Each structure stands twice: as structure tokens, then as C-alpha cells.
Amino acid sequence: MGNLILEILVETIIYVGKTLIHNAPILIFGMSVAAAITVYMNPEKLKAALTKKSGFSILGSVAFGVLTPFCACGTMAIAVSMMASVLPWGPIMAFLTSSPLMSPDAFILYAGIINIKFASALVLASIGIGVISGCIAHIIDGKTTFLKNQFRFINADTQTACCAKNKNAECSCCCSDAANKTDVNGEPAAAPGKFKRLLARYKIKELFKALFDLGIKKVLPFFALFAAIGHMINRFVPAELIMKYLGAGNSFAVPLLSLIGLPLYVNSSSTIPLVKSLIAAGTSQGALLAFMITGPGTSVGVITGLLTIMRKNAVLLYTVLIVTFAIAFGYLFDLVLLVF
């Protein structure tokens, strides 16, 4: 028994290692794109652009959500900022429902490791869910009182307010470099060298830090974990059983996997090896699409976080929209694959 366990463990480690090596170029490229967007894209400027073009605010919010690599926590932080700008419920709901589902780095990884059809389907589903959810929230907001007083007030000092405080005031935010150009003795700090100025200008240190935080600390460990889980499923779960309950021939496969994803924390990038293994075992791609919508969008952590910034009616609407459209787009994707 002990030898069997050791054999399975070694086999799994070898499989995970080969998977990481095989997908290394795509992983590095995808994580680099995510890090670059995080460092060089200014979410405040994008948010300001949304408020200026109110007529396109829903489409703009969806584009903002899909093109930025925010996790659920990052999504909620931006949502609070959007609320502070008094944006209506339409663009806020559009952003909330689209942002956790897709990002440029996730598209690169899905297209390179799984297939371009699944990656494109997830992009289209993210856009569709965001736009339709935003329009529904806009109608509900305008025609009913269901979303009235659903924002929880959160008071947060901005960087400008922080830097305006005097030296003795406590402040938790990071002020600009201009306010801190003195050394430990209070004397003017020496001008940085040419190399340091180059690093600061192009934010090289921030880029590597973002790459480490996003890729090494978050994506790679979970990627390896889900690769191991996928290997275990393929080794121990008969393909016939997967085909019976989760195959495209089972009409309940889509809602079943969407409900399984409902409470789970699923990171869209790191779950790729599990999705690939399930597809290889015969799982319906539409069902997996539904799983990759509800997983990142409705986990216990996400819903708990949303409840800190919104009240129950808004969170209920958000959850219903995500689950409903996850199932709808799952069935639609299976139908498209059947036809084409």
C-alpha cells in the first residue's frame, strides 16, 4: 500500500513538472501581460473616462472589466471607487459581472493551453454577461426601488487628502515621492543615479514585484495544484462515468457544473490544467464554461466581500445574473460546438 501511494505521488509530481515545463512559454507570457497591465495601466483614469461618457458607461465598464487583470478582491476595490463617483447601477453591475471572468492574460493562457474556441467563448460570455447584466440593472434601477439604498457607505481617504495632512497626522496610504525627499536626518536626499532613475522611470521594480505577486505567488501554485487534481481525475475516475454525468450528451451537465462552481474559489488562470484534463476525459465544454463563470464570480469569498460594500438585494441580483447567464452561455456553447 505504501509503495502504491509513493508511486502515485512520484507519478503526479512528474506529471505536474512536465505540465509546467510544457506550458512555461505561455505561462510566462500571460503572467508578464498581467503584471504589465497592473503596473502601467491607471484604473483611476479609466474610471474617469467612464464617468465622462455616460451614454457608453455600460459598454465602457465591460471593456474595463475584461481588459484588466483584477481578481475578485481587486474588482470589489474598483467597484467601491466607482460607487464613490456616483455611477448608476447599470455600469457598476456591468463591471462587477464581467471583471472576474476574463482578462488578457487569462485569454492568452486559455487559447495557448486549452484551445482558441474555449478562450473565445469565455471572452464573449464575459462581454455578454456584463452588457446584459448592466442593462437589466439599469432597467431595475430606473423602474423599481429594488436597488434603492443598496450601497454601503465606505469612507476612505484619498492619497491627496493623506498628503495634505501635517507631518504628525497618522496616515495609512502611500503619499507621493515629492513629500518624502528627505533622508533619515531630515536633510535633502541625494539625487538617484542614472540607473536608479531608469528603473524608477519605467517602474522596473514594480513590474518584477507584480510578476512575482501575480505569477509566482498566485498562479503557479494553484496551476500546479489543479494539474495534480486533473491527473488524479484522469487516473482514478473512469472516462465512461465522466461522459455519463458531465458529457455533452447529458442535458443536466451544464447546470450541474455551474452549481458545483457556485461556492468554490476558482481562479480562472490557475484552473486551466483541470479544465484541460476534464475536456480530455470527455466533459462538456459548455458545462466547463459555466463552471468557469460561476467559480470566479460567486465563490463564498466573493459573495462575502460583496456584502461588505452592497446590501442583500444588490448581491442577490448579482448572484442570480451570474448563475443564470452561466447556464445560458454553457448551453449555447455546447450548441455551437454541435453545429460547427
The whole-number pLDDT of residue 243 equals 67
What's the 3-state SS for 258-316? Answer: HHHHCCCCCCCCCCHHHHHHHHHCCCCHHHHHHHHHHHHHHCHHHHHHHHHHECHHHHH
Question: Letter for the amino acid at 43?
Answer: P
The whole-number pLDDT of residue 328 equals 96
Round to whole Å and give the CA distance between 336 and 326: 15
| 59: its cell numbers | 459598454
| 30: its cell numbers | 500571460
Round to whole Å and give the CA distance between 80 and 158: 13
Round to whole Å and give the CA distance between 130 and 142: 18
Give me the number of domains the chain comprises: 1
| 208: its cell numbers | 518584477
Domain-embedded: residue 152? yes
**Over the stretch 167-206, which tens digit does the pLDDT of each residue have?**
443 333 333 344 444 444 555 555 556 667 766 777 888 8
Domain-embedded: residue 217? yes
Cβ atoms of residues 327 and 290 within 8 Å: yes
Cβ atoms of residues 55 and 91 within 8 Å: no
Q: 264 in the Ramachandran plot: left (φ > 0), alpha (ψ -120 to 50) or beta?
A: beta
Rounded to 5°, the CA angle 264-332-314 comes to: 50
Round to whole Å and give the CA distance between 328 and 330: 5
The whole-number pLDDT of residue 179 equals 40
Which of 321, 323, 317, 271 minimizes the C-alpha distance to 294?
A: 323
Distances in whole angstroms, Cα of residue 203 to Cα of each of 209, 258, 277: 10, 40, 38
Round to whole Å and give the CA distance between 221 and 201: 31
**Over the stretch 233-264, which tens digit does the pLDDT of each residue have?**
767 777 677 767 788 778 899 999 998 888 77
| 13: its cell numbers | 509530481
Strands annotated E in the chain: none
Domain-embedded: residue 68? yes
Domain-embedded: residue 188? no
Contacts of 309 (CB under 8 A, 6+ apart): 76, 79, 80, 83, 151, 152, 154
Q: Within 10 Å of residue 308's Cβ, how many Cβ atoms?
A: 10
| 104: its cell numbers | 488578457
Cβ atoms of residues 267 and 218 within 8 Å: yes
Q: Per-residue pLDDT tens, the chain, 340 aa: give them.
A: 778 888 888 888 988 888 788 777 777 876 787 677 677 766 666 556 655 554 578 888 898 888 876 666 566 666 666 665 557 899 889 989 998 888 888 898 899 989 999 999 999 999 999 999 999 999 999 999 999 888 765 444 433 333 334 444 333 333 334 444 444 455 555 555 666 776 677 788 888 888 888 667 777 787 787 778 777 876 777 767 776 778 877 889 999 999 888 877 676 677 888 888 888 888 999 999 999 999 888 877 678 778 877 889 999 999 999 999 999 999 999 999 988 8
Q: Domain containing 141: what range? A: 2-183+193-339
Round to whole Å and give the CA distance between 56 and 58: 6
The whole-number pLDDT of residue 168 equals 40
